[in-house]
Structures are given as structure tokens and as C-alpha cells.
Amino acid sequence: MISTNDVRPGMALRLPDGLFTIVEYQHVKPGKGKAFVRMKLKNVETGQVLDRTFRADEDVPQAIIERKEHQFLYRDDLGFHFMNLEDYTQFALQPDDVGAAADYLTDGMTVVLTMHEGRPIGVELPAAVELEVTFAEPAVKGDRVSGATKPVQVETGITVQVPLFVEQGDRIKVDTRTGQYITRV
């Protein structure tokens, strides 16, 4: 248990509704009445954001979330397979558990898995990843307008808008937060 006066953004709480991380925290002391704490909480499993109000100095259950480096091995019918880099144990995660990170995972990539009580609850990717272009249509002569782009398909199967000079076989860097092209590698 931790007092609401001691909580900070980024901490995790185990509430009756589920596991939440604190996004925003505000201690309010009105002119009349007792102080209270207003928090914006994000559900770790569903991504839902809630606003909750607690009394000042109320005890809430704190959850400990560990972040461990893992290597993505491969994907098959059982799910996405990861290996712990400390003790080399392997396990599989379902596509629902991996979420949007599945679009950027390549074999051998190192990612950070967030764990609660030994159970993986999320995948944290690096800010940018390098991916190989597997399909790109050639640029049409006359499409040389400043800033023109074309869609290409990368090795993970997603489509990215890139400048016209990118061709099949090139390696590009893609921002994992926005899905946008950064540069050719």
C-alpha cells in the first residue's frame, strides 16, 4: 500500500478495476473542505483512460512492474516467441498481448517486456526500427513534385509511405510510435 500523497506519474496501482499506471497526478487543496488527489489512470491491459479522485493520504495498493530485455525469436501458430536475455527461458505471447508492436517485430530484435507478477503485460519497442522494403512500385517519371511519396511494403507486412527514391531491397528506418518513414539506411 502507498499513500496517495506519495504517488507519482509512471507508478502502477492495483485497483479493483484492474492494473493501472498513473498518467497525470494533481493534489488539490480547496479553500473549504479537505484536500483530495485527482489522477488520470491508464489501464495496462485495455489502454482505457480513467479519471479517479481519492482522499488525500488515502492508501492505495501499489503494483510493481518489472521491465526486462527479451529477444524476439519468431512467430508461428502458437504466437510470438520471446527469450529472456538473462536466463534464456523462452515463452510465447498471443497476438492480443503483443498488440500494435507486432507490426514492427523482426527476428532477433531486442525489446523490453513489461511484467507484473511474472506475467508479461506489454511490449515496449525502440523508438525506431530498421526494416527491409519487400515490395515497391517504381516511381513514374513526372512524379517529381517536391515531397512526393509512394506506398511500399516492408518485411513485417505493413505499408509505409516513403519518398520516391526508395526501391525494393532498400533498408529504411521507421518510427514505431507513428509508423512514419524516417530515413533510408
Q: For residue range 13-59, what is the model confidence (pLDDT) as tens digits? A: 999 888 888 889 998 888 888 899 999 998 887 778 999 999 988 89
Q: For 91-100, how does the pLDDT look when each residue is reduced to its tens digit (9 = 90+)?
A: 888 888 888 8
Which residues have CB under 8 Å from 103's CB, separation 6+? 156, 157, 158, 179
Which CATH number do you get for residue 153? 2.40.50.140
Sign of CA dihedral 94, 97, 100, 101: negative
pTM assigned to the model? 0.73
Q: For the chain, what is the domain count?
A: 3
pLDDT, one tens digit per residue, over 156-166 is 999 999 988 89
Contact 154, 135 (CB under 8 A): no
Whichever domain contains 31, its CATH number is: 2.30.30.30
Q: According to the model, what pLDDT value does residue 141 have?
A: 66
Q: Which of 108, 124, 140 is the last residue of a domain?
A: 124
Residues 6+ apart with CB under 8 A from 93: 79, 80, 82, 120, 123
